[in-house]
Chains A and B, each alone.
Chain A
């Protein structure tokens, strides 16, 4: 008995980088418990949040993500003892850097979700999805990806026309 799914004009793409021991298990629990959460999220499983390089987050945005979630074990619960402590510092620094170069931090969420917290996973994913949905498409990186050096550009009047029509 699935509840009626609400239709939206814009479905954001959310990439979630999660650790395999806690958050992935938490998301799995949400699934096996038949909890509903937005299907906008694409989950990528890592051994540990300590393995999640900031460059992955950057790459996700570059490849078209509208929002990014990074989630792992609660402090003290890391399977590798201190991976999440290192990650915490790294991401604290990285988000400051992203903010400084002009990325809206509302599109980037960090969370601790344990294997028992299926409900929290649903909540975190839903919140981020709705927040990003309200913000709309992440256009900055997409526009940047289309930009060329002036010297490499070619005359494409039909593309320009098509763009202007949008």
Chain B
């Protein structure tokens, strides 16, 4: 289904959804930083900047309770979290790189173990994507097979058109339901011309070749030159739309407390630190190698796609300027040298 919505009607739609009691999560300014957060009014929506963190948070929270305990005398009471309590959510203004990462996460969280927390939040969320008209030289969605107009992962996809407003395209029943429930705010398309979309400069990677190189080069001096500079923080993983590692911790007192699920990052030394004191990834380059391997090899081995959507956040935000797109380009070069 193809429709048109004006900016004003989009704002009315969001305000209506908020009034209906839905959680409307969209890019907004929080203390000087644009983040995906629940809006209190449609006017807060920011559409001209890529949020610092990705939209994955709506399904895979930074931190969520999964259980609580209470001890009174000899009696221990455990309380599960009821997923029915997760709020109905509309995730709005999701960039193609963030939206495309959602099916990637779906694959992981519904693989051998069905993660009820992720899946229930996912079921209750409608995703409204938004095409990009701006890109910088860290953007590389087009290099990993996506594009600034790619609707993958979105239920409803908006493309800004000339003269304001958006052309809307539905990609699922949820998207159609959103339009059908608010028919009066959408108009028929009338030959609106889409604004020119962004054009990321990075050339397409040959992901097959990159994977073939990674298959062969778990041990390689290249990892040292790539990642000796890595300082071992989790910034790259935490801003990534597709990274999905988590850690489970118990926090509280002897009387009561909670079991929580927090984001984790393979860059941390603690990530693979064993209780015995042994750490199989004892040096930073080994940890960083896992990041590349997981994104371009392990995930591909298991699910047949790449765990990177080219949002470029990790490139912009790496404290020491590690550039994942540059690394893949280097790997491609090595492959070529080998072929010649």
Q: Please list the residues of chain A having a beta carbon within 8 angstroms of any beta carbon in chain B.
A: 63, 148-156
Contact = CB atoms under 8 A, between A and B. Distances in A.
User: What 10 A-B pairs come out closest when comparing CB atoms?
Assistant: A151-B61, A152-B64, A154-B85, A152-B61, A151-B57, A155-B85, A149-B62, A155-B87, A152-B63, A150-B38
Contacts of A156: 85
Contact of B87 (A148, A149, A154): A154
Contacts of B111: none
B81 interface: yes
A159 to B, nearest CB: 10
Contact of A154 (B38, B57, B63, B81): B81
B37 interface: yes
B85 A151 contact: no
Contacts, number: 32
A151 B87 CA distance: 10
Contacts of B58: 151
A150, A151, A152: residue with the most chain B Cβ atoms closer than 10 Å: A151
A15 to B, nearest CB: 15
Contacts of A151: 57-58, 61-64
Contacts of B62: 149, 151-152
B86 interface: yes
Main secondary structure of the interface of A (DSSP, over half): loop
Nearest to A156: B85
Contacts of B37: 150
Nearest to B37: A150
A148, A149, A153, A154: residue with the most chain B Cβ atoms closer than 10 Å: A154
Contacts of A149: 57, 61-63
Interface in B13-64: 25, 37-38, 57-58, 61-64
B288 to A, nearest CB: 27
Interface in B55-77: 57-58, 61-65
Given A151-B58, A154-B86, 10 more contacts: A149-B57, A150-B37, A151-B62, A151-B63, A151-B64, A152-B62, A152-B64, A154-B81, A155-B87, A156-B85
B57 to A, nearest CB: 4
B86 A155 contact: yes
Contacts of A148: 63, 65
Nearest to A63: B253
Nearest to B87: A155
Interface in B71-95: 81-82, 85-87
A9 B201 CA distance: 68
A149 B58 CA distance: 11
A149 B25 CA distance: 13
A152 B65 contact: yes
A149 B62 CA distance: 7
A149 B37 CA distance: 10
Nearest to B30: A150
